[in-house]
Amino acid sequence: MLAQEFRVLVRERGLDPHRDRDAVHAAARETVQSHESRSMAGLAPVLDDPESLVNQLIADLVGLGPLQALIDDPEIEEVWINAPDRVWIAKGGRHELTSVMLNVSLVHELIERMLAGTGRRLDMSHPFVDAMLPGGHRLHVVLDGVARGFTAINIRKFGTRVSRLDDLVALESLTANAADFLRASVLAGLTILVSGATQAGKTTMLNCLANEIPGSQRLISVEETFELQCQHPDWVALQTRQAGLEGTGGIELRDLVKETLRMRPSRIIVGEVRAEESFDLLIALNAGLPGMASLHANSAKQALVKLCTLPLLAGENVSSAFVVPTVASAIDLVIHMNIDAHGKRSVSEIIAPTGRTERGIIEAETVFGREDGELVRGSGRPHRREAFEAAGIDMESLWAW
């Protein structure tokens, strides 16, 4: 009843919920005060927490209703809905079932509200959607019919508290020595692949690495959906686009990788390598353009194997005879991220391909690895010593500790 009264008041005053936030807040407070006046006269029930109700009315109108409190909680990393009465969260890397109860119509209304203004659509011809919410969080929806019994929704939040390698050191995800090495490697223009499982911290690591790129260089990033949040001064971010109702106008990740080469990049970042775009990325890297990318894999060496396999999807004329040695020479470092049973994310190993292959297998040395839970220096070194020298970095000083 109060929600309807509030909506009528906002509509009568011609307020835009997104632009007239102060006026909308005042209207919500006025609605609650009007109810309190009626309750004092015995014409309406007494409110337990009027201030909380003001926030709830605003969240129902301009936010995500019952989900808004979960989105606003800085400790919550992800929210997902398996059914109207099964709303889950990830907190500290652990899954928790919440007490939030929704209904089907409200969920559909929330989906429409979240997709409004994103340029993305969801229907039977496009039963999946990836989109970025105004707060920078990623939305993924799978329509009922593809998902059994109910539309499945994931909202992955991206915080800003981790943006530099030093932040990872403070969280004990990385040692100071390893951070110094990675910082020097970025300055030297090495090409870096970040691997790991889902939620292991790949995007966070990419952000931290990107923030170490010198401001004098031009950075172009390409992603399925905007997730990178680096703070580079000369940065252009590109994302894919769905095809329209006529089946035209779609922009694939592969198209964007090609497009970056026409934009005078000093570095390129591919948010996540999944398929044919890996071939175009290798072509760019093989031309001497430094880059970064993330990839799902179980280990750093498995990431190299996968990167040798994905380009084969680009066409029958693409062969391992070209791909494997190209990967061996183009990738300078692989950083593997891990998330343990307690939800702690950390770097588990850093390896450096030697540039050589043996029977289709890329040789790589361990630069840093875990021993008894500690990230320690290995015997490996990046094979491009000249890149460090050109950047004015004494490579040997990186090992003098």
CATH number, domain with residue 87: 3.30.450.370
DSSP 8-state code for residue 83: E
Mean pLDDT within 266-286: 91
Nearest 5°: phi and psi at 196? Answer: 155, 175
**pLDDT above 60 (res 322):** yes
CATH number at residue 186: 3.40.50.300
Segment (H or E) for 56: helix 50-62
Contacts of 198 (CB under 8 A, 6+ apart): 296
Give per-residue pLDDT as tens, 351-394. Answer: 999 989 888 899 999 999 998 888 999 888 898 888 998 889 88
What's residue 178's pLDDT? Answer: 94
- If asked whether residues 77 and 194 sit together in one domain, one would say no
The residue type of 83 is: A
Grouping H, G, I as helix, E, B as strand and the rest as coil, residue 53 is helix
- SS3 per-residue string spanning 113-180: HHHCCCCCCCECCECEEEEECCCCCEEEEECECCECCCCEEEEECCCCCCCCHHHHHHCCCCCHHHHH
- If asked whether residues 140 and 231 sit together in one domain, one would say no
- If asked whether residues 182 and 314 sit together in one domain, one would say yes
Give the Cβ contact number of residue 144 at 10 Å.
Answer: 14
- If asked whether residues 46 and 96 sit together in one domain, one would say no
- If asked whether residues 391 and 358 sit together in one domain, one would say yes
Under the banding of pLDDT at 50, 70 and 90, the label for residue 154 is very high
Number of domains present in the structure of the chain = 3
Of the chain, the end-to-end C-alpha distance in Å amounts to: 68
**pLDDT above 90 (res 230):** no
**Residue 342 region by backbone torsions, left for phi larger than 0, else alpha for psi between -120 and 50, else beta:** alpha
- If asked whether residues 74 and 58 sit together in one domain, one would say no
Q: Within 13 Å, how many C-alpha atoms sit on residue 151's CB side?
A: 22
Can you tell me the distance from the alpha carbon of 105 to that of 204, in angstroms, rounded to the nearest whole number? Answer: 35
- If asked whether residues 284 and 301 sit together in one domain, one would say yes
User: 111: which 2 tokens?
Assistant: 């989906």
- If asked whether residues 105 and 141 sit together in one domain, one would say yes
Can you tell me the distance from the alpha carbon of 344 to that of 263, in angstroms, rounded to the nearest whole number? Answer: 38
- If asked whether residues 192 and 274 sit together in one domain, one would say yes
End-of-domain residue from the set 29, 45, 62: 62
E-assigned strand segments in 16-137: 76-83, 86-91, 94-97, 128-132
- If asked whether residues 83 and 173 sit together in one domain, one would say no
**pLDDT above 80 (res 89):** yes
End-of-domain residue from the set 132, 156, 180: 156
The residue type of 376 is: V
Can you tell me the distance from the alpha carbon of 263 to that of 284, in angstroms, rounded to the nearest whole number? Answer: 13
Q: Which residue has the higher pLDDT, 348 or 120?
A: 348
3-state helix, strand, coil split of the chain in percent (to 5) is 35, 25, 40
Q: Are 70 and 81 in contact (CB under 8 A)?
A: no
Contacts of 387 (CB under 8 A, 6+ apart): 188, 189, 190, 332
- If asked whether residues 55 and 71 sit together in one domain, one would say no
Can you tell me the distance from the alpha carbon of 364 to that of 356, in angstroms, rounded to the nearest whole number? Answer: 8
**pLDDT above 70 (res 66):** yes
Helices 2-12 and 50-62 sit at what angle, rounded to 10 degrees? 60
**pLDDT above 70 (res 117):** no
- If asked whether residues 144 and 198 sit together in one domain, one would say no
End-of-domain residue from the set 104, 126, 156: 156
Give per-residue pLDDT as tens, 1-49. Answer: 677 777 777 777 777 665 676 787 788 787 878 777 777 777 677 777 7
What's residue 105's pLDDT? Answer: 85
Question: What's the domain range around 74?
Answer: 67-156
DSSP 8-state code for residue 396: G
Q: What percentage of the chain reaches a pLDDT higher than 70?
A: 94
